[in-house]
Amino acid sequence: MNNRGEQVIGELFRRINTLIADYDLTYDEYQVAQQWLIDVGQAGEWPLALALFEHAVEQQAHKDRAGSQGTILGPFYLPDSPVLDLPYELPHRPGEKGDKLLMTGRVLSADGTPLDGAVLDVWQADADGLYSGFSDLPAGLLRGKLTTDTQGRFALRTIVPGAFTIPHEGPVGRLLAACGWHPWRPGHIHMIVSADEHEPLITQLYMDSSDYLDDDVASAVKNSLIVHPHRHGGQLAFDYEFRLAPLRAAVPAG
């Protein structure tokens, strides 16, 4: 392993050893921790567990980036979302539960230049907080890719996502409950916005009507990501502008 890897792993081990000593951890506690780590693996919950720390990496990685703030990817992204046709609407079941939602917006470069042909790769939970590909929902439900027009504009119909809860009965949920912490995330829509010559923007938009905005279990809410949909006929609608950072010029080799 390279030197940085050795330094970080070495420090991690030192911190664990110090923690054990500082708290006088007992054999019973050690065995509980060991069993929990094994249970997380057996339940397939490592992606979920690690998503609770992704915010720290994301904030660090993007602290000096131009353009819109983003947030974490989370554990439920799938790369092969359906490519949608105009007029854009996320695939859903007949009579899909949840308020109808129209999301409109633009994709711009950080300096305000509209980006023609930018791609939004969108995914969200249904009104019950379930994601397709990770539940019994049909494959590809509430997932889709769409493209901006010559002025960088897009419009997408969907439904208001429900709040998400980490499964209460799984090892991660049991740990949170044992600590007295709730397992919820506010309702949100995920997207990766990408365009030629720009850094992809991984982000989530949060409905202002959702609970847990101030208390997201994944610590991934930022004020600039909260949208304020208004009633517009029989549906809710909001508009959002994404500004992408230009790719940093490659450092010439040699």
**CA geometry: angle 219, 58, 239, nearest 5 deg:** 75
Going by C-beta distance under 8 Å and a sequence separation of 6 or more, which residues neighbour residue 41? none
Kindly tell me which of 36 and 134 has the beta carbon lying closer to ligand MBD.
134
Q: Which amino acid is at 62?
A: H
The binder of 220, among ligand MBD, Fe ion, none, by C-beta within 5 to 8 A per type, is ligand MBD
Kindly tell me which of 143 and 185 has the beta carbon lying closer to ligand MBD.
185
Residue of closest CB approach to Fe ion: 74
> Cα(148)–Cα(115) distance, rounded to whole angstroms?
7
**Interaction site with ligand MBD (CB under 6 A):** 48, 51, 72, 74-76, 164, 185, 218, 220
> Cα(59)–Cα(224) distance, rounded to whole angstroms?
14
Strands (E), 8-159: 88-89, 100-109, 119-124, 143-147, 153-159
Residue of closest CB approach to ligand MBD: 74
Contact call for residue 152 and Fe ion (CB under 5 A): no
Binding mask 67-96 for Fe ion (x = CB under 5 A): -------x----------------------
Compute φ and ψ for 37, nearest 5 degrees.
-60, -40
The binder of 206, among Fe ion, ligand MBD, none, by C-beta within 5 to 8 A per type, is none
Q: How far is the CB of 29 from ligand MBD (least distance, A)?
A: 27
Q: How far is the CB of 54 from ligand MBD (least distance, A)?
A: 7
Going by C-beta distance under 8 Å and a sequence separation of 6 or more, which residues neighbour residue 161? 98, 124, 125, 126, 127, 129, 142, 187, 188, 189, 207
The binder of 88, among Fe ion, ligand MBD, none, by C-beta within 5 to 8 A per type, is none
Q: How far is the CB of 76 from Fe ion (least distance, A)?
A: 5
